[in-house]
Amino acid sequence: MRDLSKLEAIMWSIALPGFSQLLMKQYWKGTLLVVLEFIINVQSNFNLAIMQSFLGNMQASIDALDFQWIMFYPCLYLFAMWDAYKSTLKEHKEYAFLPFVFCAYFVTVGVMYSTRFEIFGIFPGPIFTPMIFLIPGIISGFLVKYAILFFKAQFNPNKE
């Protein structure tokens, strides 16, 4: 298995889910993630929606997306990132998955609200709205993780 840093693993997963797994010689898992990403991407018209969003055509981006398919994307994407991150850890880190899981939840909700969500009078559309929802997702995930660890330490001071 090729050693990747945590940052390198996450960055390759951001580039394309499954790339980190392939670099770490987890060929079955990496191939499955790449294939699933490709299927969801094509079926949801995600690349066209991304292009339209970057060109400022938010309604064209909404019209291009198949929301039934794109709803799968946040969970697949963040699972691939979590798996890549987890594979780089030398030892188990308790509740390290929570920021990833909360990001998946919040980004999925961001997809749901992306056709009507505005911030400061700006309509970010179906690509940028989920990215905005990533921020409270990661903050919530870390807060929940540290709250659990804090209360666990308070009520079980002798246990690790």
pLDDT tens-place string over residues 41-76 = 999 999 999 999 999 999 999 999 999 999 999 999
Q: Where does the chain have alpha helices with state H?
A: 6-15, 19-23, 27-44, 46-54, 58-64, 67-70, 73-88, 98-113, 125-155
Would residue 160 count as lying in a domain? no
10 inside domain: yes
**What's the pLDDT at 1?**
52
Would you say residue 41 lies in a domain? Answer: yes
Is residue 79 included in any domain, yes or no? Answer: yes
User: What is the predicted pLDDT for the residue at 3?
Assistant: 81
Would you call 1 exposed, middle or buried from its count of C-beta atoms within 10 A (0-12, 13-18, 19+)?
A: exposed
At residue 114 the predicted structure's pLDDT band, cuts being 50, 70 and 90, is very high
Q: Is residue 34 part of a domain?
A: yes
> What residues are paired with 119 via a beta bridge?
122
**Tokens found for residue 155:** 């009520």
**Domain containing 151: what range?**
6-155
Mean pLDDT of the chain: 93
Q: In sequence order, what are the beta bridge partners of 122?
A: 119
Single-letter amino acid, residue 89:
L
- pTM assigned to the model: 0.87
What are the structure tokens assigned to 25, written together?
Answer: 């010689």
**Number of compact structural domains in the chain:** 1
CA separation for the pair 16, 81 (Å, rounded): 9
Flag whether 50 is in a domain: yes
Residue 1 located in a structural domain:
no
Per the structure block, which two tokens stand in for 60?
A: 């064209």
Indicate the angle between helix axes 27-44 and 46-54, nearest 10 degrees: 60
Q: Which amino acid is present at 53?
A: S
Asked if 129 contacts 117 with a C-beta cutoff of 8 angstroms, the reply is yes
